[in-house]
């Protein structure tokens, strides 16, 4: 991924705002730029926009939204900042966290009210680092639906999305001003497009094995379960232009990716009383302590795998609201048994292991005490009862959290704090609010950074472009 400063071509076409990447960040940025009256084009390498956004659950963390207020949730930027700081052990950038706390709710309201993308707060996902219910989902509760709602809104707003448009280089002058982009089209055709401002929405670098090995060595050999096309291109352009990066070792992981079927096991199964054991049938962690950080203890177990243990009642309850749970059933990932002994045999676990773990859980549930990992089992929930279920899982890298240093309007910054003349970044391409480790990731933060920074970038880039037309 290159920045070309010599032999700048004559741009036959030029657009005020060019956006690279048609995920949640790129499409939200496009809507915001159109709202300001700017012409905008989104360039997407794939045949149809998909991205990590479509692979996600579509749960966006947002603070102070109308949906929260209508449901009696009392939330504020201050409360959010305190949650972020607690989750990251004080590592997250407080100024950025505050900005996100102030702008995420209005962004979700704007998407809902102006662009007909209905997002409402979900009460199933509580806790896990959020002291208030903050996850906002579309009605169908999938990232795929979120992306198609955004795409439809873009079509209504007159945003052009050019697919099969792989940006391979950017052109810049000696003052680091971006002049345009080089696009590889099908059949090896190369096109050049000029711009007044460029928004990088190419997500992180999870699909770039060299970068993962360099910045996140603990996940160098782990499965990457994000969008393969996210190879850090935008981060590399920014750095080549002189931008600074932050928290490159941060990432969102998951300890419960069905292996080998590669379907995400819904976390509510464990919130509702399920638990994890290793290949020997022994529990090894507090299952609710950290969803993202769970990949590390799971990968450290024998064979790098674990089993999620739950029951048929929880499975049925989860089926009602989770596409992933339906997929687990469809691909035959769920093993079922009428007794703990039978489940141990089916999963090749040590005889007596599951019944022993379950008895220990039942006794701490009855006493209200914490178990040996510090987990408290909610005694208002019924105990697991036969038929029992198990899914074999492993740990995976979902998406990276480090990226380009940005200011309060998502303008990309150099190490000395000065802004590059006309470059913006958001979503997985920009730094996040997760600190430097896997444990700092708050559920919903990935899409929150995508839509909130996307909206800020789109608005500011459009204003800047309209101030200085080409
Ligand atoms: C399984 C899974 C579940 C998740 N669930 C959630 C969740 O519920 N809530 C949450 O907040 N986060 C979740 N995340 C994280 C979330 O999906 C991401 O943080 C978010 O989608 C990032 O949005 P984005 O627009 O930055 O990137 P993407 O949606 O990945 O979009 C980036 C786009 O850029 C394109 N691109 C890249 N390079 C180029 C190039 N050179 N030229 C042209 N196009 C290019 C890519 O093809 C891609 O379409 C999940 C992630 C995974 C993998």
What pLDDT score was predicted for residue 127?
73
What pLDDT score was predicted for residue 123?
87
The 10s digit of each residue's pLDDT in 36-50 is: 999 999 999 999 999
pTM of the model: 0.94
Q: Strand runs (DSSP E) across 129-227, as ranges?
A: 135-137, 160-162, 166-172, 178-184, 190-200, 223-224
- State which of 1, 2, 21 you would mutate to test the pocket of ligand 1, scoring each by most atoms of that ligand within 8 A of its C-beta: 21
183 lines ligand 1 (CB under 6 A): no
The 10s digit of each residue's pLDDT in 157-208 is: 999 999 999 999 999 999 999 999 999 999 999 999 999 999 999 999 999 9
Average pLDDT estimate for 416-430: 98
CB neighbourhood size of 343 (10 A) = 24
Nearest Cα residue to atom 51 of ligand 1: 56
The 10s digit of each residue's pLDDT in 378-400 is: 889 999 999 999 999 999 999 99
What pLDDT score was predicted for residue 353?
98
| pLDDT at residue 445 greater than cutoff 60 | yes
Ligand 1 center to 199 CA (angstroms): 15
pLDDT band at 1; cut points 50, 70, 90: low
What pLDDT score was predicted for residue 321?
84
Counting atoms of ligand 1 from 1, which one is nearest the CA of 445? 11
3 state DSSP class of 346: helix
Ligand 1 center to 376 CA (angstroms): 34
Contacts of 366 (CB under 8 A, 6+ apart): 379
- State which of 31, 51, 410 you would mutate to test the pocket of ligand 1, scoring each by most atoms of that ligand within 8 A of its C-beta: 51
Half-sphere exposure of 437 (CA within 13 A, CB side): 14
What pLDDT score was predicted for residue 90?
97
CA 340, 341, 345: angle at the middle one, nearest 5? Answer: 115
Ligand 1 center to 292 CA (angstroms): 16
What pLDDT score was predicted for residue 291?
87
The pair of three-digit structure tokens given for residue 245, joined into one six-digit string? 């990066």
Average pLDDT estimate for 433-442: 96
What pLDDT score was predicted for residue 313?
97
Average pLDDT estimate for 5-10: 91
Average pLDDT estimate for 27-32: 98
117 lines ligand 1 (CB under 6 A): no
The 10s digit of each residue's pLDDT in 289-318 is: 888 999 999 999 999 999 999 999 999 999
440 lines ligand 1 (CB under 6 A): no
| pLDDT at residue 469 greater than cutoff 70 | no
The 10s digit of each residue's pLDDT in 101-142 is: 999 999 999 999 999 999 999 987 777 899 999 999 999 989
Ligand 1 center to 203 CA (angstroms): 5
Q: Mean pLDDT in the chain? A: 96
């Amino acid at each position: 991924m290159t920045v070309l400063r010599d032999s700048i071509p004559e741009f036959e076409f030029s657009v005020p705002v060019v956006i690279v990447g048609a995920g949640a960040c790129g499409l939200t940025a496009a809507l915001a730029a159109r709202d300001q009256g700017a012409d905008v084009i989104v360039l997407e390498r794939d045949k149809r926009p998909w991205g990590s956004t479509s692979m996600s659950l579509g749960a966006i963390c947002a603070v102070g939204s109308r949906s929260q207020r209508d449901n009696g949730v009392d939330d504020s930027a201050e409360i959010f900042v305190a949650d972020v700081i607690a989750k990251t052990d004080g590592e997250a950038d407080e100024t950025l966290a505050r900005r996100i706390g102030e702008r995420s709710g209005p962004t979700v309201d704007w998407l809902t009210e102006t662009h007909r993308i209905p997002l409402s707060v979900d009460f199933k996902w509580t806790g896990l680092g959020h002291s208030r219910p903050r996850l906002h989902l579309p009605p169908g509760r999938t990232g795929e639906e979120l992306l198609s709602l955004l795409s439809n809104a873009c079509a209504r707003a007159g945003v052009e999305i050019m697919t099969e448009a792989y940006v391979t280089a950017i052109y810049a002058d000696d003052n680091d001003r971006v002049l345009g982009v080089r696009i590889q089209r099908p059949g090896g055709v190369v096109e050049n497009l000029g711009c007044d401002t460029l928004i990088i929405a190419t997500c992180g670098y999870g699909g770039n094995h060299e970068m993962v090995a360099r910045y996140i060595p603990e996940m160098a050999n782990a499965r990457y379960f994000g969008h393969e096309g996210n190879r850090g291109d935008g981060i590399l352009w920014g750095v080549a232009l002189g931008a600074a990066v932050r928290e490159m070792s941060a990432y969102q992981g998951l300890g419960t990716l069905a292996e080998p079927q590669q379907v995400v096991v819904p976390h509510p199964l464990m919130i509702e009383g399920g638990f994890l054991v290793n290949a020997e049938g022994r529990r090894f962690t507090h299952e609710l302590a950290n969803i993202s950080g769970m990949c590390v203890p799971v990968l450290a177990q024998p064979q790098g795998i674990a089993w999620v243990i739950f029951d048929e009642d929880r499975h049925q309850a989860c089926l009602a609201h989770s596409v992933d749970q339906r997929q687990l059933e469809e691909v035959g990932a769920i093993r079922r048994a009428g007794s703990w002994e039978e489940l141990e045999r089916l999963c090749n676990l040590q005889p007596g292991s599951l019944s022993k773990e379950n008895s220990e859980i039942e006794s701490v549930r009855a006493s209200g005490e914490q178990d040996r990992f510090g987990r408290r089992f909610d005694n208002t929930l019924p105990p697991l009862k036969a038929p029992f279920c198990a899914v074999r899982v492993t740990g995976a890298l979902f998406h990276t959290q480090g990226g380009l240093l940005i200011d309060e309007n998502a303008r990309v910054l150099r190490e000395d704090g000065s802004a590059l003349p006309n470059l913006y970044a958001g979503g997985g391409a920009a730094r996040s609010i997760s600190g430097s480790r896997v444990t700092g990731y708050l559920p919903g933060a990935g899409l929150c950074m995508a839509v909130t920074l996307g909206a800020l970038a789109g608005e500011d880039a459009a204003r800047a472009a309209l101030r200085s037309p080409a």
